Amino acid sequence: MKMWKRSLVTAAFALAAWVAGPAFAQPGTATVHGKVNNAAGIPVTSGTVEFTKDKFVEEKDQKFTNTVPLDGNGNYVAKGIAPGDYLVWVRSEGKHIDRLELTVKAGDDKTLDFDMTRAEYLKTMTPEQLKALEEFKKKNAEIMSTNQVISQLNATLKTVRADLAAAQPTKGDVSKDVASMKQATDAKADIGLLWLTYGDTLQAQGDHLAYEDKKAGKPAMSDEDVLKAYSDAADAYKKGVDLDATGKKPNPAEEAVGYNQMGNVLAKSGKVADASVAFEGAVKVDPTKAGMYYNNEAAVLFNANQSEGALAAAEKAIAADPNRPDPYFIKGQALIAKSTFDNKTQKLVPPPGCVEAYQKYLELAPDGARAADVKEVLAGLGEKINTKYKAPGKK
């Protein structure tokens, strides 16, 4: 079963500096450190903290004794500050945005935080700046809420993927994962990845129920719960594919996998024609994997005893990827059914391409799952089996 590897992406929103201001700072035998937050309470991570003793000089004429950078968390550390009285500025985006007074003595280790959410600072802002600040806070609150939801959804995806991988070998019950992904799609119904994963949980649960039916001697296709799980899975895959295709950043490879999964689950539901269309859809959006998707289509049609369709799909799979063995087996099986009987030799006469397809299968997969069957067919036709065939890469 396909495991969807991607995670959901969180949103971000930047706040520009709100007000302009002066500049100054430098020297000494004290240390000053602190944190700088803007008017929205968010760390200012780009800029400097500047020290000046020119407290009574116009801002443009002030000389700075010390200038230190802000780090990625809005923190700063200023060492070597000479004793004295200072005006300390925060500069960001080329302008001063806040200031505080400070007195230091030799040997001091002082904390000076710039918290621009303080009432004193907010009073210096214009009505336009205050309005912009409130709009930002509202938008940022929405983003924080969205990011929290996305964080929870990513945790859900991680858990579900692990559960599906663990349940696959034994076809275990994954009903709790179906419920988790239902909640996820309810929370963010516009994310294709969630619907694709939801489809995987529904298909896995359908497989579990069908397996339990088989053990009980009950036909799975008569079990409404099995059919509903498969039908809901197909719908979820379709929803996921459509959302991805119309999203801001479509992922054709992921859409193709969604179509492929849809084809698989439709085939399990007995909807072979619809399954074939889904596999063709996978090829259309991701031609680079055409060999695999045509192969899957050929297998589904062959298992449904639709030999003509299986042969056509196998031919396309071979054209797309001539090194894949299974399409050759399907081609050989589809053609052998068209054999004629030669009354003179009392032997079956296979149509052109049949024996070649079987031999090619053995060449590519001498120890493959169908190798024994192929050898038996060739022997029955009186064809020589080349036991020296080796798979590519083997010596």
Residue bearing the bigger pLDDT, 190 or 384: 190
Mean pLDDT score, 237-248? 96
Q: Tell me the CA end-to-end span of the chain in Å, nearest whole number.
A: 32
User: Any idea which of 25-39, 88-102, 104-118, 163-177 has the lowest mean pLDDT?
Assistant: 25-39
List alpha helices for 1-96, DSSP H.
none
Mean pLDDT score, 276-300? 97
Q: Is pLDDT above 60 for 10? A: no
Residue bearing the bigger pLDDT, 308 or 148: 308
The percent helix, strand, coil of the chain (3-state, each to 5) is: 50, 15, 35
Residues 6+ away with beta carbon under 8 Å from 225: 209
Could you tell me the pLDDT band of residue 52, with boundaries at 50, 70 and 90?
Answer: very high
Mean pLDDT score, 252-279? 96
Mean pLDDT score, 308-315? 96
Residue 375: closest CA among 340, 332, 312: 332
Q: Is pLDDT above 70 for 69? A: yes
Mean pLDDT score, 201-230? 96
The CB-side HSE value for 183 (13 A sphere, CA atoms) comes to 15
C-alpha to C-alpha distance for 198 and 205, rounded to whole angstroms: 11
- Please write the tens of the pLDDT for every residue from 113-127: 999 999 999 999 999
β-bridge partners, 35? 75
209 neighbors 229 (Cβ within 8 angstroms) = yes
Phi, psi of 96 (to 5 degrees): -75, 135
Query: What does the mean pLDDT of the chain come to?
Result: 90
Could you tell me the pLDDT band of residue 58, with boundaries at 50, 70 and 90?
Answer: very high
Rg (CA), the chain: 35
Q: Among residues of the chain, what percentage have pLDDT more than 90?
A: 80
Q: Which domains does the chain have, with CATH numbers?
A: 30-125 (2.60.40.1120), 325-395 (no CATH)
Task: Decide: helix, strand or coil at residue 65.
Answer: strand
Q: What pLDDT is recorded for position 388? A: 57
- Please write the tens of the pLDDT for every residue from 131-188: 988 988 888 787 777 778 788 899 999 999 999 999 999 999 999 999 999 999 999 9
Q: What pLDDT is recorded for position 138? A: 85
Q: Is pLDDT above 80 for 193? A: yes
